[in-house]
Amino acid sequence: MAIIEVDSLTKRYPLPNKKSEAFLAVNAISLRIEEGEIYGILGPNGAGKTTTLEMLEGLTDIDSGIALIDGIDVQENPYAVKQRIGVQLQANEYFDGVSLVELLTLFAALYDRHVDPLALLDRVNLRDKANAKPTQLSGGQQQRFSIACALVNDPKVLFLDEPTTGLDPQAKHNLWALIRELNNGGMTIVLTTHNMEEAETLCNRIAIMDHGSLVAEDTPQALILKHAPEPPSAPIHGDIEDVFLALTGHGLRD
């Protein structure tokens, strides 16, 4: 069953150097995302990935087209959609001086929900930081905390905008493990990424955007067979990422 259905979704923005004219940041894209998928959106800088996510999340107005999440029209009923989705933003800024536990309690209250903040912190492996302030967390810990914030309303769909950008290989693998765990529990995950390994190993299907349009959509394997069928020359050893992990890795959940 499709949990996200998008038909001819379009967004125009004014041209930076000619404000009276507009360009298509997202150009009539249509897609269906099945319940339980990890769905990746790839594309060069400025391709329209974040704008697409923001329209689905109800954070940016839709100029034309239709987006349904769990059968609910995003434009007509944004409040009902927000109850069903979790959103992790590219950069999170939290109130200074408030602990992780207090912030999770506050976010839950915004959704009119009661959560067990420590149980949520357990899910993202941050219980030992319960009384820390967000500014006291490392980059990877902040990313995991922003996912905990996105989970306060027990969403059916989780949107992640470049979740592993800037993370070291170990933190990146930790986050992939967390995403897989959430997905194994039945959550649909939609993410954008510039990390090709992330797209290939984590995502069930990938959409590739360029200049606002959807240029391809399929499983990673099918896309490779269709667009890059030549086998690479056989690698004779691992790469620097493997060296980094061998020397600094302490197990995925550390």
Tell me which residues touch ligand ATP (CB under 6 A).
13, 25, 43, 45-51
When the beta carbons of 36 and 65 are compared against ligand ATP, the nearer one is: 65
Q: What are phi and psi of 41, to 5 degrees?
A: -115, 120
When the beta carbons of 126 and 208 are compared against ligand ATP, the nearer one is: 208
Q: Which residues pair with 161 in a beta bridge?
A: 192
Nearest approach, Cβ of 172 to ligand ATP (angstroms)?
17
Nearest approach, Cβ of 197 to ligand ATP (angstroms)?
17
When the beta carbons of 41 and 126 are compared against ligand ATP, the nearer one is: 41
Contact 3, 156 (CB under 8 A): yes
17: Cβ–Cβ under 8 A, 6 or more apart, which residues? none
How far, in Å, are 87, 88, 103, 108, 132 from residue 96 at the CA level?
A: 21, 19, 10, 18, 11
Sign of the CA dihedral with 110 first, then 85, 12, and 16 last? positive
Nearest approach, Cβ of 82 to ligand ATP (angstroms)?
20
Report how far residue 208's alpha carbon sits from residue 215's, in angstroms, rounded to the nearest whole number.
Answer: 6
Nearest approach, Cβ of 29 to ligand ATP (angstroms)?
12
When the beta carbons of 107 and 159 are compared against ligand ATP, the nearer one is: 159
Nearest approach, Cβ of 166 to ligand ATP (angstroms)?
13
When the beta carbons of 54 and 70 are compared against ligand ATP, the nearer one is: 54
